[in-house]
Amino acid sequence: MIVVIDYKMGNIGSIINMIKKAGGEAKFSPEQDQIEDAEKLILPGVGSFDAGMQNLTKLGLIDVLRKKVLKDKIPILGVCLGMQLFMERSEEGVLPGLGFISGSVVRFKFDKKNAHLRIPHMGWDSVEVKKESPLFSSMYEDPVFYFVHSYHVVCNNVGDVLSTTIYGYDFVSSLQRENIFGTQFHPEKSHKYGLKLLQNFIKLAY
Amino acid sequence: MLMTRVIPVLLLKNGGLVKTVKFKDPTYVGDPINAVKIFNDKEVDELLIIDVEATKEKREPNFELVSRISREAFMPFGYGGGIKSLEEITQMFRLGVEKVSINSIAIKDPDFVKKAAEICGSQSVVVSIDVKMDEFGNHWVFDYVNNTTTKLDPVKFAVSIEKNGAGEIILNSVDRDGTFSGYDTDIIKMVSESVRIPVIAMGGASKIEDFVKAVEAGASAVAAGSFFVFHGKHRAVLITYPNKDELKKALSRLSIQNSENAF
């Protein structure tokens, strides 16, 4: 069973809906023991970095997440803020992140040439896949995904970058390190492209 | 490259979908669940559903219906109508709604926008501004609940709600609503030049060329109602969405032009 972590940050309903459509089984839960029993985890999230970390802390989920992800190595997918929380820190807040991935979260900063670009980066955009990954296995040609964000992650290890997208400059639109997957875009809101990606996540062997 | 979003906006009344002309004379155009399924198949960029009766009838949003709609919406899905509390917004997100559109409460209580943005992030808070022109050609914010023109200047109002944390503005022209006469590009230009957040043009679209004109005027996205539900000169009800390649061709050329102009 996939457990979608319910830490009061955003639209968990749509993730459950899309997983069902993708043929998977998921439930949302804020409980430590449910997360302990999960085969796979999804950390969704819309909202601010510190609020996200505070809620995870308040629910007592930090240790169980560390154990499941770093020790048991079960697949986890972070979406949007969920992925950003995998990093060590963020310009958006002062609290440390989960630190699963080496790197940080920064706000879009544009030079003069791109000063006209609006923030948030909102809408459908393409991705350039940078390495082999089960997440993009037999993906449609020229996939597009729905984005809405003002901050993006910066990976210290280039090898962790799964895809990049151009908005003023190349930024990391998805990442993978072993069992840890993250997308800045919202697969649950990206039609057949997101459906395919979530099907791939569901199919991951553990 | 980021593509210009083309957004169908559907109006809810008594559990069915309707379309108005200049905010009046609602015509029944179909069942919401069925319409969302069709828009799924057509892979629309985004969808917005507005309950036009909830605030007028002083009732809360129809959560049960929103839940049924969102279970079928595999694209970004926004909801508006009858929202007056932060709890209702949180509830919407639990049901799978991405964005809430607020209108009358933003006029009455500017602090509400701020509070909403604080708890759910600016990107999820869309403020819908209805605009009506007077006989002198001046634009004013229109209060659809009381069916009156306010003394609010839409540009100043837009700037103030941006400051309060709104993530997007839907700029809806009452005069153009349902008329197929093209967008009011003057007001689109004035508002989008004054704010940094995305402005979604709405009201009057009849063809792809209208989308192009709205984007040229500064809109980040385009929305329409009648355009997607009526077909042909007899206004037969038929849910349609333009061919994706056709849209891409018309609108991506323009995005490139816009970036070049900005240098």
Touching check for B210 and chain A: CB below 8 Å? no
Short-list B65, B110, B69, B118, CA closest to B89: B118
Overall average pLDDT of the B243-249 stretch: 89
Evaluate if residue B260 carries a pLDDT over 50. Answer: no
- Tell me the CATH number at A85: 3.40.50.880
Per CB-CB distance under 8 Å, the chain A contacts of B200 are none
Answer yes or no: is pLDDT of B17 > 90.
Answer: yes
Of the pLDDT bands very low, low, confident and very high (cuts 50, 70, 90), residue B259 is very low
- Work out the average pLDDT over B89-103: 90
Instruction: Inform me whether the pLDDT recorded for B257 exceeds 50.
Output: no
Q: Which residue of A has its CA nearest to B7?
A: A123
Region B117-127 average pLDDT:
86
Distance CA B150, CA B156 (A): 13
Residue A177 is predicted with a pLDDT of: 98
> Is B130 a known active-site residue?
yes
Q: B51, B130, B177, B210: which is the annotated catalytic residue? A: B130
With a pLDDT cut of 70, the percent of chain B lying above it is 96
pLDDT tens digit sequence for B157-197: 999 999 999 999 999 999 999 999 999 999 999 999 999 99
Q: Is residue A2 exposed (0-12), middle (13-18) or buried (19+ Cβ within 10 Å)?
A: buried
- Nearest beta carbon to residue B70 from set A14, A146, A195: A14
What Å distances lie between residue B108 and A6, A91, B90, CA to CA? 33, 34, 21
Kindly state the DSSP code that residue B123 receives in the 8-state scheme: G
Q: Is there a contact between B98 and A14 if contact means CB atoms under 8 Å apart? A: yes
pLDDT attached to residue A192: 95
Assign B256 a pLDDT band (cuts: 50, 70, 90). Answer: very low
* pLDDT at position B69: 93
pLDDT category of residue B154 using cuts at 50, 70 and 90: very high
Quick check: B43 contacting A, CB < 8 Å? yes
Which residue range is the domain that position A36 belongs to?
2-203
Q: B184, B175 in Cβ contact below 8 A?
A: yes
Predicted confidence (pLDDT) at residue B263 exceeds the cutoff of 60: no
Quick one: B150 exposed, middle or buried, by C-beta within 10 A (0-12, 13-18, 19+)? middle
Half-sphere exposure of B229 (CA within 13 A, CB side): 25
**Considering only alpha carbons, which residue of chain B is nearest residue A195?**
B74
- Chain A residues whose CB is inside 8 A of the B76 CB are 146, 148, 186, 189
Domain with B185 in it: 5-262
Contact A10 B93 (CB under 8 A): yes
Predicted local confidence at residue A206, as pLDDT: 66
Q: What is the CA radius of gyration of chain A?
A: 16
Tokens of A148: 């809405």
Q: CA of B77: which chain A residue's CA is closest?
A: A189
pLDDT score recorded for residue A187: 97
CA distance B261 to chain A (A): 10
Q: How far apart are CA B154 and CA B170, in angstroms?
A: 11
Please give the pLDDT value at position B96.
Answer: 87
Report the Cα A143 to chain-centroid distance in Å.
Answer: 17
pLDDT of residue B46: 96
Residue-level pLDDT, tens digit, chain A, 206 residues:
999 999 987 778 889 989 999 999 999 999 999 999 999 999 998 788 998 999 999 999 999 999 999 999 999 999 999 999 999 999 999 999 999 999 999 999 999 999 888 888 999 999 999 999 999 999 999 999 999 999 999 999 999 999 999 999 999 999 999 999 999 999 999 999 999 999 999 999 76
Q: What does DSSP assign to residue B31?
A: -
Contact B45 A123 (CB under 8 A): yes
CATH number at residue B225: 3.20.20.70
Question: What percent of chain B has a predicted confidence (pLDDT) above 90?
Answer: 79
Asked whether B188 and B217 are in contact (CB, 8 A), the reply is yes
Query: Does the pLDDT at position B136 exceed 90?
Result: yes
User: Structural domain tally of chain A?
Assistant: 1
**What's the number of domains chain B is made of?**
1
- What integer pLDDT is reported at residue B176 of this predicted model? 97
Q: Give Dmax (Cα) for chain B.
A: 50
The reply to whether residue B120 touches residue A17, judged by beta carbons under 8 angstroms, is: no
Which positions of A are catalytic? 80, 186, 188
Rank A200-204, B57-61, B104-108, B143-147 by mean pLDDT and report only the highest: A200-204
Please tell me if residue B236 touches chain A, with a CB cutoff of 8 Å.
no
Predicted TM-score (pTM) of the model is 0.91
A192 part of contact set with chain B, CB < 8 Å: yes
* pLDDT, tens only, B45-81: 999 999 999 998 999 999 999 999 999 999 999 999 9
